[in-house]
Structure 1
Amino acid sequence: MDENAPDKVTSVTSQRYYSSVQYLLPADREETARLDAQHLIIVKAFENRLSLAPLNLVAGDKVLESAAGSGIWALEFSAEKHANGIKVDIECIDLSSKQFPPTGTYPSNINFSVHSISSLPLSWTDTFAYAHQRLIVLALNDSLWRQAIAELYRVLRPGGYLELVEFETKRFHCGVGPSSNKLCSLVDELFAEKGIIQDVSTYLCPLLEEIGFVNVRCEVRDVPIGGRQCVVQSGAGYTGEQWGEGWMGVKVPVVKGGGYGVVNTEEEFDVLVRDSVREWNESKGLFTSFYAILANKPY
């Protein structure tokens, strides 16, 4: 299977673009809006910090942003460093250019290019002082994770920092009623078929050490889902609707996979997510966990 092959799906009720047959979420304008809104939730969860790595970047250092999407993280990171008098060069990569901002709308120190994290240019070896990658757990199986981590190790310069931000797909804690329990069961079946790693924090730390990284550590933040008005007002978590929007993105892979004994049509999936949203909004104590996993390439 070529994980880079585009997967354009058009049906009666869905017209979504998928940049890869492996990645379970779309790469289109609708998904870009969702990811940009999610970016704010994640940053707030980590105490309004764009990075937890103890960086000491200087002007001219090169930074890699993998799975860049719209580039929202890179744009904010660049502005933050520039405000401190440091201009870094940021290379933003993704499998598709469809979510990139229009040329000319971003600073000249940021470049966007189409590359797979599993196969980066040879000329980038020992180049980057810092590599940041966020939320590609729904794109990689074990083999692809190993390729990706090896490539990140190769392109970092000695002493460079790696920061991976992921969410724990094994710890949703959001099956709270008949519909949401069915949705969780369905998603588990989909992930198992695709080889998605569901205990990502337990999996990634030993893998980083195996590849050669040192000083590996993991920080976790729990983010509430639905149920509490204060979460909505403060922006400190997901509303039920926001959480449901994310799972609407896997509708096409679910239906193409036969519905896993839970749904048979896109319409049935829509109803399942809608009813799950209601259950999430009527419940308390639901959360998802985000992990920031940091490591160094040794000197």
Structure 2
Amino acid sequence: MNIFSFLTKKKQKSPLKRQISFVGGRRHRVDVPYALPKDEREEERINFQHYALHKLLGSHYQAPINHTVRRILDTGTGTAQWAYDIARQFPHAQVCGLDLEQPRGTGFLPPENYYFVPGNILEPLPFPDNHFDFVHQRLLVSAIPTAQWPAVLQELVRVTRPGGYIELAEAGNGYQHVGVHTHTFLQWGQAASAKKGIDLAPIKHLDELLSRAKLRHIKTRTFRLPVGSWGGKEGALYATDMYAAFQGLKNFFCLVGGVDPNNFDTTLSALPQEWEAHHTTHEFYVAYGQK
């Protein structure tokens, strides 16, 4: 047993049983509410998204952590690109990525101070109390039913040591300057998400969620990200990521939300031109607090 296995002896209540569905050539996990696919195509998009967000936000995190941190957790780590970069930035820290399953092959060699632990954010985390100096969670709003947010945050707080920081970064339906097709798309997303018990509205108030979790020194930032080449190279990158993400939502919108597939395709194809014409922006929310 290696040291990382020892540090994660606390197990989740039940083993992770995968229930997989293939629809339209895309691989989905049907045992969890997560709306996007879990396949290599989606992993490529997530890698691209990580690059785009770093260009747009200018940093991998907002919390005032420093090189005294020794243990860092990234929940919902996906392809682990955020965790890899943080592991390189903090070579003296042990960085853990937690997700439902390990990436199928990102083509990137993980740093020696990174390790992966399988786990479900909707269940008790397989870590001891007061374990991590910094806990990071990004873009999981479509994976967490609204009623379960308090329990999720309670677990994040539990595994964070006193004085440590928790940071949440989310984006939802906060678009400005949209056209009719984007508006339609957002309505579809809201309706399909509601059927899974997911409401995107609370992410505008991440600070309130952290406050209810009894964190202190809470800070928030709202970034308005350009969607389209009208916003320069960064805007073009973000639009490419956005379009690919929307493509990945087709099965969710059509099978869960009842959207006609042909109508979906027609609406989707109209989005890039609409974003350019309206100078669409998308709100990205970051909040952190100290235990």
Could you state the TM-score of these two structures normalised by the residue count of structure 1? 0.83
**Could you list the per-position Cα deviations for residues 92-115 of structure 1 after superposition, in whole angstroms to 9, with x for gaps in the alignment?**
10012245657x931221111111
Structure-1 residue corresponding to 2:36: 25
Identity %: 23
Measure, in 1, the Cα distance between the counterparts of 2:263 and 2:25: 13
Q: Which stretch of structure 1 is more off in the superposition, 246-255 or 288-297?
A: 246-255
Equivalent runs, 1:55-94 vs 2, <5 Å: 55-58=65-68, 61-82=70-91, 87-94=92-99
Structure-2 residue corresponding to 1:96: 101
Equivalent runs, 1:131-210 vs 2, <5 Å: 131-167=135-171, 169-173=172-176, 175-177=178-180, 179-210=181-212
Which residue of 214, 219, 223 maps to 2:225?
A: 223
Q: Please, which runs of 5 or more residues in structure 1 have no aligned partner? A: none
Do the aligned residues in 2 keep the contact of 1:171 with 1:289 (CA within 8 Å)? Answer: yes
Deviation at 1:121, TM superposition (A): 4.2
1:292 to 2:286 alignment: yes
Q: Which amino acid aligns with 2:260?
A: N
What secondary structure, in the 3-state scheme, does the structure 2 residue paired with 1:223 have? strand
Structure-2 residue corresponding to 1:214: 216
Structure-1 residue corresponding to 2:9: none
**Could you list the per-position Cα deviations for residues 218-240 of structure 1 after superposition, in whole angstroms to 9, with x for gaps in the alignment?**
11111011251x52xx2245464
Deviation at 1:203, TM superposition (A): 3.6
Deviation at 1:184, TM superposition (A): 2.1
Aligned-pair RMSD on alpha carbons? 2.4
Which residue of 8, 12, 20 maps to 2:20?
A: 8
Structure-1 residue corresponding to 2:62: 52
Q: Please, which runs of 5 or more residues in structure 2 have no aligned partner? A: 1-13
Deviation at 1:26, TM superposition (A): 1.3
Measure, in 2, the Cα distance between the counterparts of 1:239 and 1:162: 25
Deviation at 1:80, TM superposition (A): 1.7
Measure, in 2, the Cα distance between the counterparts of 1:286 and 1:276: 10
Structure-1 residue corresponding to 2:11: none
After the TM superposition, which segments of 4 or more aligned residues of structure 1 sit over 3 Å from their partners?
4-7, 98-102, 120-123, 200-203, 236-242
Aligned length: 277
1:36 to 2:47 alignment: yes
Measure, in 1, the Cα distance between the counterparts of 2:101 and 2:127: 21
Measure, in 2, the Cα distance between the counterparts of 1:134 and 1:249: 18
Do the aligned residues in 2 keep the contact of 1:68 with 1:74 (CA within 8 Å)? Answer: yes
Deviation at 1:49, TM superposition (A): 1.2
From the superposition, tell whether residues 45 and 246 of structure 1 become closer, same or farther in structure 2 (CA, over 3 Å).
same
**Could you list the per-position Cα deviations for residues 199-232 of structure 1 after superposition, in whole angstroms to 9, with x for gaps in the alignment?**
234443222212211111211111011251x52x
Do the aligned residues in 2 keep the contact of 1:166 with 1:200 (CA within 8 Å)? Answer: no
What secondary structure, in the 3-state scheme, does the structure 1 residue paired with 2:223 have? strand
